[in-house]
Amino acid sequence: MATPVESAPTKQRILDSTAAQFMRHGYTGTGLKQIVAAANAPFGSLYHHFPGGKQALGVEVIHRSGAMYGDLVMSVFDAAPDLLTGVHDCFEGAAAVLVATDYADACPIETVALEVASSNEPLRVATAEVFESWIVSASARFRAAGLDDSTARELAIAFISLLEGAFILCRASRTTEALEAAGRTAAVVVEAALRDAGVS
């Protein structure tokens, strides 16, 4: 009987395999042979689906993983009864995932972004586009809570910065202390903004 991985289309298996390897090993730490082996795909299929090679594959994986991760985080916001609870739940959920995966599964974009920002322009642009899409999505949640456009965008940037920075510290220290502290800080800042806007 075929496993779910084996029964998926080859291109999807390659994308899924690459996303998992990037998350754990980064872009340069992930080899093409490693990708196709984990995807149970013939080596030639990688260039069939991605004629631009590893860089083209990397750009598609960044956009695809970024969209999936962004949807996951925004779904936590949307499931919460209010904005402050949503902020708290995002950080709490991120900490739980890190512990459950032995600190391996953090943000799929942050790992690559740190590595390629000064060395690979197409990948840098792809990570920047993903981060901007997250800012836009988070801003919409803050606006829906009654905040003006400027405040909503500023809070969205702060929220994502706190989350991404905390991921790095947590993976290095192998504790969730940074996510817990960042989550408390985010909640304080958001609560103050809501109070100042008269919507708390």
Domain for residue 10, yes or no? no
Q: How many domains does the chain have?
A: 1
**Residue 200: what pLDDT?**
66
Is the Cβ–Cβ distance between 134 and 66 less than 8 Å? yes
Tell me: pLDDT of 7 over 60.
Answer: no
Q: What predicted TM-score, i.e. pTM, was given to this entire model?
A: 0.88
pLDDT band with cut points at 50, 70 and 90 for residue 1: very low
Whichever domain contains 65, its CATH number is: 1.10.357.10
User: What distance in Å separates the CA atoms of residue 176 and residue 70, rounded to the nearest whole number?
Assistant: 21
Domain for residue 118, yes or no? yes
Domain for residue 75, yes or no? yes
Domain for residue 52, yes or no? no
- Give 39-73 pLDDT, tens digit per residue: 999 988 998 999 999 999 999 999 999 999 999 99
* Domain that residue 87 falls in: 58-196
Domain for residue 93, yes or no? yes
Domain for residue 64, yes or no? yes
User: What distance in Å separates the CA atoms of residue 53 and residue 180, rounded to the nearest whole number?
Assistant: 39
Average pLDDT of the segment spanning 175-193: 97
Domain for residue 49, yes or no? no
Domain for residue 27, yes or no? no
- Give 73-119 pLDDT, tens digit per residue: 999 999 999 999 999 999 999 999 999 999 988 787 888 898 898 99
Amino acid at 64: R
